[in-house]
């Protein structure tokens, strides 16, 4: 079978471009790792211009859009990434997280259910589902999930703080203070912990870098 030169051209161009694409990816990833998110965004966008199918670039641009509050854009990017890598757990978990931030709690919990059916030990997915339950007002389910996380790891400050906030929402301030104090005891430098145990109100850490 004879291969026409015109069919060889796209592959040849891709091979020639590969080193440049790798360099763009390395630059974007290094900026991300350094916490220089604004610069990383630009680097990922430039890399995706030349390689639209780069899943990690789509994924991280989706996260950046979510942190900026551009949730529709975030979902579009994350869905593109998931379509290319349907089994990637981090992409699936972040899509569920953004759905929860949009107030689409049923959709979010269904996504988490699907992921946890395949990976029952996925701690981040279990925490995300518990958060979605809490925001949805399904406090019993949220309480069960958060407590299970603390039982599995008594030093899970994020779950302890979540329990503190849940108790505050339930009008149980003494229990809220108890869990907040435990969070401070196990992770005094952790941003998830409130700065004073009696005040078990805190910023939602979920939207922080």
Q: Give the tens place of pLDDT for each residue, 188-197.
A: 876 544 433 3
CA distance readout (Å), 89 to 59, 98, 108, 114, 203: 11, 14, 14, 10, 26
- pTM score: 0.79
Residues 133-165: tens digit of each pLDDT = 999 999 999 999 999 999 999 999 999 999 999
In percent, the amount of the chain with pLDDT more than 70 equals: 81
Q: Is residue 50 part of a domain?
A: yes
Q: Is residue 109 part of a domain?
A: no
Can you give the CATH number for the domain in which 31 is found? 1.25.40.10
Q: Is residue 22 part of a domain?
A: yes
Lowest mean pLDDT among 25-29, 74-78, 185-189: 185-189
Q: Is residue 125 part of a domain?
A: no
Structural domain of residue 68, as residue ranges?
18-86
Considering only CA atoms, which of 123, 117, 73 is closest in space to residue 95? 73
For the chain, how many structural domains are there in total?
1
Predicted confidence at residue 50, as pLDDT, reads: 87
Predicted confidence at residue 10, as pLDDT, reads: 42
Q: Is residue 47 part of a domain?
A: yes
Q: Is residue 140 part of a domain?
A: no
Q: Is residue 171 part of a domain?
A: no
Give the three-state DSSP class for 3: coil
């Amino acid at each position: 079978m004879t291969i026409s030169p015109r069919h060889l051209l796209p592959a040849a161009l891709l091979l020639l471009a590969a080193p440049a694409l790798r360099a763009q990816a390395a630059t974007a990833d290094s900026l991300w790792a350094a916490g220089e998110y604004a610069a990383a965004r630009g680097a990922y966008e430039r890399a995706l211009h030349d390689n639209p199918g780069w899943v990690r670039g789509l994924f991280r641009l989706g996260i950046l859009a979510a942190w900026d509050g551009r949730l529709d854009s975030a979902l579009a990017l994350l869905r593109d990434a998931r379509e290319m890598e349907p089994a990637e757990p981090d992409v699936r978990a972040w899509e569920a997280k953004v759905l929860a931030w949009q107030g689409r709690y049923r959709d979010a919990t269904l996504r988490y259910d699907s992921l946890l059916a395949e990976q029952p030990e996925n701690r981040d997915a279990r925490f995300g589902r518990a958060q979605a339950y809490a925001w949805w007002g399904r406090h019993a389910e949220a309480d069960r999930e958060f407590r299970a996380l603390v039982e599995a790891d008594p030093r899970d400050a994020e779950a302890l703080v979540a329990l503190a906030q849940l108790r505050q929402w339930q009008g149980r301030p003494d229990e809220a203070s108890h869990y907040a104090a435990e969070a401070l005891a196990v992770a005094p430098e952790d941003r998830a912990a409130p700065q004073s145990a009696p005040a078990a109100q805190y910023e939602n850490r979920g939207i922080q870098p």
